[in-house]
Amino acid sequence: MSKRPFVIFGAFAAICVLVIPFIALGKAGDAQSGDVQVAARDEGGKALVFENCGQCHTLAAAGIDGIVGPNLDQLLVPSGANSAQMYEGLYTRVIQALTCGVKGRMPKGILVGDEAESAAAFVAAYAGQIGKGPTVDTTTAQHPDPPDCG
């Protein structure tokens, strides 16, 4: 029996196992690819999101890359262009999810009270802001009343 098929297979396997991952891992993004400018006033909200949301969700500004839940940059700002006009609606959506849960996919009460408000403000201001800063000053922005989950 000829060894040629085994040699060809071995060469192919070596390329797949060694060369392709080396090339893929060696690629670097540009200077703006994952950089989000977080204001000092928002570091507390960032820490809350990092600690409580990072297991499931992805959000570039918080430095989280979860594997179960949706990417918040894409889910909340599918156009990739967040704005100050979108802030109140995004805040309401996020505080609702944190406080009341999401249809059995996300448990309610992950954060409550001031912590929920701080995390919701952070997510609403920074979702989709890759390479940019927040859309609003989270300390002076209008925040609707927390939802009643009933």
Beta strand 58-59 with 64-65: parallel, antiparallel or unpaired?
antiparallel
Residue 115, domain member (yes or no): yes
The token pair at 120 is 């919701």
The whole model's pTM is what?
Answer: 0.76
pLDDT of the residue at 17:
64
Dump pLDDT digits (tens) for 99-138. 999 988 999 999 999 999 999 999 999 999 988 889 999 9
- Residue 52 belongs to domain with CATH number: 1.10.760.10
Dump pLDDT digits (tens) for 28-66. 443 334 578 899 999 999 999 999 999 999 999 999 999
Residue 17, domain member (yes or no): no
Residue 107, domain member (yes or no): yes
**Who's near 146: CB < 8 A, 6+ residues apart?**
95, 99, 116, 117
Whether the per-residue pLDDT at 21 is higher than 70: the answer is no
Which residues form the domain of 50?
40-126
Whether the per-residue pLDDT at 141 is higher than 60: the answer is yes
pLDDT of the residue at 26:
47
